[in-house]
Amino acid sequence: MYSTDGQQLRKTALYDMHIAAKAKMVTFAGYNMPLHYSTGIMHEHKHSRDAASLFDVSHMGQIILSGSGIGAALEKLLPIDLQSMPIYQQQYGVMTNLEGGIVDALVVTRWAEDTYFLVVNAARKEEDLSHLSNHLPGFTVEYMGDQTLMALQGPKAAAGDERALANSR
């Protein structure tokens, strides 16, 4: 399958599952992604608002940053107090350029003392990876291009109740 500009569309690892579930597929950020399933957008929206729904967000960019002192170096690009962030805590933020302009919005998670995990927007991931690599010399910047990423959203998501997901499609 190709996009309107002739580029071959990428697929997430869950593509076949989306097709089997009769998802309406659309082009998004160079990927063939599900827009909704046969139950319809309103049912899915209501279920997410009342219970919990699982979303394939594997098209998003996943980047691991590590090395001694990475927190202080990364704070020059993310206006967040990363060094005080507890392990496994995450925060929504923005990545900035040297003039303070916004490069992208992202979620940052502190995985260890000197390791951070970023989830960046699909349409900006190549630019974000380049920006990080250029401004964090001497640190490990690892792009996780072959990883699946799922987002569980809704008021019952934290409960871990499998029944909350049972009717999500």
Domain residue limits, the chain: 15-58+149-164, 61-143
pLDDT one-digit tens code per residue, 12-56: 999 999 999 999 999 998 899 999 998 889 998 999 999 998 899
Look at the block and give the residue holding tokens 């206006």: 79
* Alpha carbon distance 101, 96 (integer Å): 5
64: nearest Cα among 123, 136, 11: 136
Fold classification of 15-58+149-164 (topology level): Gyrase A; domain 2 (3.30.1360)
Q: What local confidence, expressed as pLDDT, does residue 145 receive?
A: 87
Q: Find the distance separating the first CA and the last CA of the chain, reported in whole Å.
A: 25
Architecture of the domain delimited by 61-143: 2-Layer Sandwich (3.30)
What confidence tier does 160 reach under pLDDT thresholds 50, 70, 90?
low
**What ranges make up the beta strands (E) of the chain?**
24-28, 31-36, 53-56, 61-66, 90-96, 102-112, 115-120, 140-143, 150-153
Structure tokens at 163: 């029944």
pTM: 0.83
Model confidence pLDDT, tens digit, residues 40-52: 899 989 999 999 9
